[in-house]
Amino acid sequence: MKKLLGIIAAILLASVVLTACSGDEEKEVTVGAKNFTEQFLLAKMSQMLLEDEGFVVDMKDNLGSSALRQALENGQVQVTWDYTGTGLVTYNGEEPIADEQEAYAKIQEVDAENGITWTNISDVNNTYTLVMRSEQANDLGIASISDLADYVNANPGELRMATDAEFANRADGLPGIYETYGFEFGDEQISEMSYGLNYDAIHNEEVDVAVGFATDSRIREYDLVNLEDDQKFFPSYSAAVSMLTETYEEYPEIEEILKPLAEGLDSETMRELNYLVDVEENSVEDIAREFLIENGYMEE
């Protein structure tokens, strides 16, 4: 018994010493991601690039926007991809800004005070959108959100909508749409569900309108149309790296490592990658690796 205890103590001691030693050399970061495919892809690609440069990367994914942001502020997550519009409106209560560069400059300025640094803005603009089935939208003569507002006001209680809980309650989500366009769905008409299932719901004609992301491949797959945001309500949601300023200062190389990714991605490419995962059912890991290797960002 004594011997056994001795062995256990030795192992414990050894592991403590080992981790203590290795801790000095290893560059460790935690990459976070929200709960949809594009985020999984961005986080996975960042993880691969960072690991390629000798970082030990921990992953915390599948978080809601605000949970991820909270984790970033707490330092539980150090590097994330986030969207300028979300940063301004949801996290900081600022007015939405439609211009991409302006929004980026503004969020850099505002978040600097929160100890968060934004870098590597990309051409991926993943703005929210309302979608309908092409056929029904044509039949009802709805092409823009204003048309939808007119229709709903004229026929209250007829159209049903699917949304996730986040969009249903965000200032730059449904409440803002209601206010800007002057219409409202009744509680009875709204089905709240996990994001992603709303595409199935609209495809199966269980609802008539659904919230979507502009870069989501299922919009094309299910023959849906983006309703035009004719009042320019949705701000610009450029994907950019948002990280803890502390981490940014400790490892300035992260910006350089993730640069090719930010420069190589645009909305079209992103939609294609999302398509490969969501519709063709490839794994996030495979698609991320292929993309990085094909574009020469990473060796085999």
Partner 1 sequence: MDKKKLIALIVKALFWIFIIAFFWWVFSNQMFSKIVENPDKFLSLLQQHLTLVGISAGIAILTAFPLGVLITRPRFRKSEWWIVNIANLGQTIPSLAVLALAMGFLGIGIKAAIVALYIYSLLPILQNTIAGLDSVDPAAKDAAKGMGLTPIQILLKIELPSAAYSIIAGIRTAVILNIGTAALAYLIGGGGLGVWIFTGIQLFDNSFLISGAVPVTILAVLVDYIFRGIQFLLVPKGLRLARAAAIDSI
- Of the candidates 183, 141, 179, 138, the one whose C-alpha atom is nearest the C-alpha of residue 161 is 183
C-beta of 116 vs 298, nearer to partner 1: 116
Indicate which single residue of 59, 140, 168, 257 sits in contact with partner 1 (rule: CB under 8 A): 168
Contacts 24+ apart (CB under 8 A), 5-9: none
Residues 172-201 that bind partner 1 (CB under 8 A): 187, 191-194, 197, 200-201
d(CA 68, CA 80) in angstroms, rounded, equals: 8
Classify residue 205 as left (phi > 0), alpha (psi -120 to 50) or beta.
left
Report the run of H or E that residue 239 belongs to, with start and end. strand 239-244
C-beta of 33 vs 292, nearer to partner 1: 33
Indicate whether 156 belongs to the interface with partner 1 (CB under 8 A): no
C-beta of 110 vs 168, nearer to partner 1: 168
Instruction: Give 90's DSSP letter.
Output: I
C-beta of 123 vs 192, nearer to partner 1: 192
Under 8 Å CB-to-CB from 108, ≥6 apart: which residues?
Answer: 117, 118
C-beta of 155 vs 169, nearer to partner 1: 169
In angstroms, give the least distance from the CB of 169 to partner 1. 5
Angle, vertex CA 188, rays to CA 165 and CA 223, nearest 5: 65
Q: Of the ranges 10-18, 149-157, 163-171, 235-243, which one interacts with partner 1 (CB under 8 A)?
A: 163-171
Indicate whether 206 belongs to the interface with partner 1 (CB under 8 A): yes
Indicate whether 105 belongs to the interface with partner 1 (CB under 8 A): no
Residues 53-72 that bind partner 1 (CB under 8 A): 64-67, 69-70
In angstroms, give the least distance from the CB of 88 to partner 1. 16
Tokens of 156: 């209250």
Total residues in contact with partner 1, by rule CB under 8 A: 23
Tokens of 116: 């968060």
In Å, how far from its chain's centre is CA 30?
A: 16
Footprint of partner 1 (CB under 8 A): 64-67, 69-70, 162, 164-166, 168-170, 187, 191-194, 197, 200-201, 204, 206
